[in-house]
């Protein structure tokens, strides 16, 4: 059984195309699609990790709308998905939030489209996810998590490998593929 799993969508620190460390903006589409994937795979909470107050205000406005009666009538699935989203300013705040709930620090699993030395295979991370302690899986926006995030993680998941050399999924797609490979039970 898979439980006590959290997902963090990191907007800072991430890289841009020039491999500079930047802060990206939240998008309505990311919030909806990733929250629905998380709900589908039993994720406890989705943390939107962004230090900018202006981005927090945008998130609050979006959440206010998507938790309204109008939104509930318009699209109940999006209404329900917003229940699991929390906005925090940094990864440490997400870890503290989880620790308060479980009285235990979560282990952190980072992801990336880049190859990284020491990355674990999906089967290895799947075995970790079956354990009872809390787990936080981090996904980067922009051009991926900054190396310092990966280096501070307890584990790093290998990149998603397609069938060709092209490797640039949207973060929404990467979350869905990753959760399916880690959590779904296939016969």
Handedness of CA 54, 141, 91, 183 (dihedral sign): positive
The residues near 165 (Cβ < 8 Å, ≥ 6 apart) are none
Tell me how many domains the chain contains.
Answer: 1
Say what the pLDDT of residue 187 is: 59
Give the residues across from 86 on adjacent strands: 47
CA distance 83 to 67: 8
For residue 78, the domain's CATH number is: 3.40.1280.10
* Contacts with 184 (C-beta within 8 Å, 6 or more apart), sequence order: 41
Query: The domain containing residue 32 runs over which residues?
Result: 5-183
Q: What value does the mean pLDDT of the chain take?
A: 94
Residues 26-35 pLDDT 10s: 999 999 999 9
Give the separation between CA 120 and CA 103, rounded to whole angstroms: 27
Q: Per-residue pLDDT tens for 58-91?
A: 999 999 988 889 988 988 888 888 899 999 999 9
pTM of the entire structure?
A: 0.95
d(CA 13, CA 91): 10
Q: Is the pLDDT of residue 49 over 80?
A: yes
The tokens for 124 are 């290895």
3-state helix, strand, coil split of the chain in percent (to 5) is: 45, 20, 40
CB 125 within 8 A of CB 182: yes
């Amino acid at each position: 059984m898979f439980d006590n799993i959290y997902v963090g969508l990191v907007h800072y620190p991430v890289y841009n195309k020039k491999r500079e460390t930047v802060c990206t903006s939240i998008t309505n589409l990311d919030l909806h699609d990733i929250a629905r994937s998380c709900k589908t795979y039993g994720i406890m909470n989705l943390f939107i990790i962004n230090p900018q107050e202006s981005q927090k205000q945008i998130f609050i406005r979006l959440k206010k709308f998507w938790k309204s009666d109008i939104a509930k009538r318009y699209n109940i699935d999006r209404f329900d998905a917003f229940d699991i989203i929390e906005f925090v300013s940094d990864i440490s705040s997400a870890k503290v939030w989880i620790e308060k709930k479980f009285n235990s620090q979560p282990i952190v699993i980072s992801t990336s489209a880049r190859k990284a030395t020491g990355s674990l295979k999906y089967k290895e991370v799947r075995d970790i996810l079956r354990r009872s302690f809390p787990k936080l899986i981090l996904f980067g926006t922009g051009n991926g998590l900054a190396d310092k995030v990966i280096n501070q993680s307890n584990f790093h998941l290998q990149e998603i490998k397609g069938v060709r050399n092209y490797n640039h999924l949207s973060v929404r797609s990467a979350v869905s593929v990753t959760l399916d490979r880690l959590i779904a039970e296939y016969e």
